[in-house]
Amino acid sequence: MKKNKYPICWAKENFSIKIFCSIPNIATGILIKADNAHFIVDPGDGILRDLNKDLKIKDILNISDVFVTHGHHDHVGGVWSLLTYLRVMNKKTPLVIHYPKGCLEIVHIYNAFMKVYSRSITYDIILKEITGDKSFTSKKVLVKPFPVIHKEYLSDNKTTRQVPSLGFKFAFNNLKICYGGDTAYCKDLVKHAKGSDLAILEAGHDDDTPDDMHMTLSEANSIGRSAKEYFLVHVPEK
């Protein structure tokens, strides 16, 4: 597979997305802007560094929502540093973290952070566990969560289990961005990517190594062609 050159950017009108990186087992980090709203999606390790290169401090402090597709380290490894920076810089407005039901990693990070900093934190952290696929609105952006299929090996390296996982579709000013996160080929992703202005699809495997954890290059391309534009991410580094 061809190695991506990050960051990857897309913008139309006042709606934009910047994928700082999406490298399996290392880090993912995505910034979405809609007018003056700023969202973070999958804040992996390095997200704070990338935000400081891209945004003014006041814009980082105005980040209102974080969306987590699942709890693997390459998607949540930067949460602690982000929360700490916002405290140090005296953020005043709430931060909402949206995450799939059963994603214990976010709960544990939050509990550990509050144990250390509860007396000195300057802003409210609101955890919102997503238990279904009901749409909701934040900062005039319509957000549609949807289930995806992403599994992981247990300690025996043979048995797998489903990871609490979601994809998200963001709609603003009649424009739609579909992000599947880490997922195998699944009907819900096919449904929501179709007709989107932009689909962001992971291609974690070569065509000769399919499984129920990630999509192959052919699978991701087949879904991507149903959108107006698409990017392939989470392609293994070689």
Residue 229 DSSP one-character state: S
Interatomic CA distance for residues 66 and 73, integer angstroms? 15
Considering the domain boundaries, does residue 107 fall inside one?
yes
Interatomic CA distance for residues 124 and 179, integer angstroms? 27
Considering the domain boundaries, does residue 216 fall inside one?
yes
Question: Of 24, 26, 37, which Cα lies nearest the Cα of 67?
Answer: 37
Residue-level pLDDT at 238: 62
Domain that holds residue 206: 8-233
Pick the more confident residue, 154 or 95.
Answer: 95
Considering the domain boundaries, does residue 49 fall inside one?
yes
Number of domains into which the chain is organized = 1
Predicted confidence (pLDDT) at residue 206 exceeds the cutoff of 80: no
Query: If you search the block for the tokens 């973070």, which residue do you land on?
Result: 40
Tokens of 164: 């609490």
Interatomic CA distance for residues 134 and 169, integer angstroms? 11
Residue-level pLDDT at 216: 92
Torsion angle defined by CA atoms of residues 115, 81, 30 and 145, in that order, rounded to the nearest 10 degrees: 0
Query: How do residues 41-71 score in pLDDT, each as one tens digit?
Result: 999 999 999 999 999 999 999 999 999 999 9
Considering the domain boundaries, does residue 190 fall inside one?
yes
Residue-level pLDDT at 212: 75
Considering the domain boundaries, does residue 136 fall inside one?
yes
Considering the domain boundaries, does residue 3 fall inside one?
no
Band of the pLDDT at 153, cuts 50, 70, 90?
A: confident
Interatomic CA distance for residues 201 and 208, integer angstroms? 18
Query: How do residues 155-185 score in pLDDT, each as one tens digit?
Result: 998 888 899 999 999 999 999 999 999 999 9
% residues pLDDT > 70 (the chain): 97
Predicted confidence (pLDDT) at residue 211 exceeds the cutoff of 90: no
Q: To 5 degrees, how large is the angle CA 106–CA 110–CA 116?
A: 150
Question: Of 205, 204, 213, 207, which Cα lies nearest the Cα of 233?
Answer: 204
Band of the pLDDT at 1, cuts 50, 70, 90?
A: very low
Question: Of 190, 6, 162, 159, which Cα lies nearest the Cα of 72?
Answer: 162
Residue 236 DSSP one-character state: P
Query: How do residues 89-117 score in pLDDT, each as one tens digit?
Result: 999 999 999 999 999 999 999 999 999 99
CATH code assigned at 185: 3.60.15.10
Considering the domain boundaries, does residue 1 fall inside one?
no
Considering the domain boundaries, does residue 238 fall inside one?
no
Residue type present at position 202: E
The rounded mean pLDDT for the chain is: 94
Tokens of 201: 């699809």
**How much is the average pLDDT of 127-151?**
96
